[in-house]
Structure 1
Amino acid sequence: MEIIQHNTEKAGNFKALSDGKTAGLMTYTWAGPEKFIIDHTEVSPDFKGQGVGKKMVLAAVDYARKNNLKILPLCPFAKAVFEKDNSLSDVLF
């Protein structure tokens, strides 16, 4: 599984690809220069139950750590991932 990030000045996304197929998409919006809001996560029905959503959230966490950013997870799925894993709290806003 490959996670690809696309980023613009105002928003971006993390896309999960498996053998060229889109497995999932997680979108975010910038809330200033040091924070982004995860607002939506979706996983293709063919890939449900394979941890695709969590892989995208972890890719966002990795990106935030490398760039000294904070994340506000408004998406219910992303929020649940953060609530279940205290090791991610360093990037929470």
Structure 2
Amino acid sequence: MNASEITLEDGPSKGVYRLRGPDGAAAELSFSKAGTTMIIIDHTDVPDAFRGQGAGLLLVERAIADARASGKKIIPLCPFANAQFRKHPEWADVLKQ
């Protein structure tokens, strides 16, 4: 499992990062867009088949990489994403204060 397997469905007001496993199960991170400069991570869903493999962290890292590349800030409303931001102070540059 690696970041290159993550796909992005990007709509006008919402988006979903998705990581599919070989059995078709998918881990997902959904977000809402708040204007043109901010996204709100609102949910991370990791099925049992992915637990303990770092799937959720990979999804958050991809969202961070994309936010950095586009100059956006992130509000991590999702409890998992919020906990990851607390564990990774090096992500402070994209965290909306």
- Name the TM-score, length of structure 1 as normaliser: 0.95
Conserved? CA contact 1:23–1:52, under 8 Å: no
Deviations 1:55-80 (A, max 9, x none): 00000000001100000000000000
Per mean C-alpha deviation after superposition, the further-off stretch among 21-30 and 61-70 is 21-30
Gaps of 5+ in 2: none
Structure 1 distance, partners of 2:68, 2:24, is 28
Conserved? CA contact 1:30–1:37, under 8 Å: yes
Match of 1:7 among 10, 15, 23: 10
- Name the TM-score, length of structure 2 as normaliser: 0.91
Deviations 1:31-90 (A, max 9, x none): 111000000001011111110000000000000011000000000000000000011111
Gaps of 5+ in 1: none
Deviations 1:6-38 (A, max 9, x none): 111100010012236233011000011100000
Pick the structure with more strand per residue.
1
Conserved? CA contact 2:7–2:17, under 8 Å: yes
Question: In structure 1, what residue type is equivalent to 2:6?
Answer: I
Corresponding residue number in structure 2 for 1:30: 33
Conserved? CA contact 2:25–2:49, under 8 Å: no
Residue-pair matches, total: 93
